[in-house]
Amino acid sequence: MKKNLFAIKIISTVLMIGAILLELWNIYAIQNNLIIPSSIKPIFWIERVAVAAHLVEAIIAAFNASSKDKIWYKYSVYTFFVGTIGLMELFREEEN
């Protein structure tokens, strides 16, 4: 189980970095009047939803981290990249 969680954390981090880079490329393309293929546009919407979901999870983690003796900004960045697993770890500590 721990190997699966570790693999998910790695994959999630790589995908979030990719989503951020994809959005930066989109901004660059818009500013420089470059044409973006229409076949890629659904991918932009998927990555925006993923980034928004991870951002909401990071905000939840930031508000709850200080009550768990965690540094709020470090844990929120961690949760932004790993997603729901970060929240699960934060609230699992509450149960123990």
So what's the pLDDT on residue 12?
A: 95
- At residue 96, does pLDDT exceed 70? no
Phi, psi of 24 (to 5 degrees): -65, -40
pLDDT in tens, 10-62: 999 999 999 999 999 999 999 999 998 889 989 999 999 999 999 999 999 99
Domain ranges of the chain: 2-95
So what's the pLDDT on residue 66?
A: 85
Residue 79: which residues within 8 A CB-CB, separation 6 or more? 54, 57, 58, 60, 61, 86, 87, 90
Dist. CA 50–CA 64, nearest whole Å: 21
- At residue 65, does pLDDT exceed 80? yes
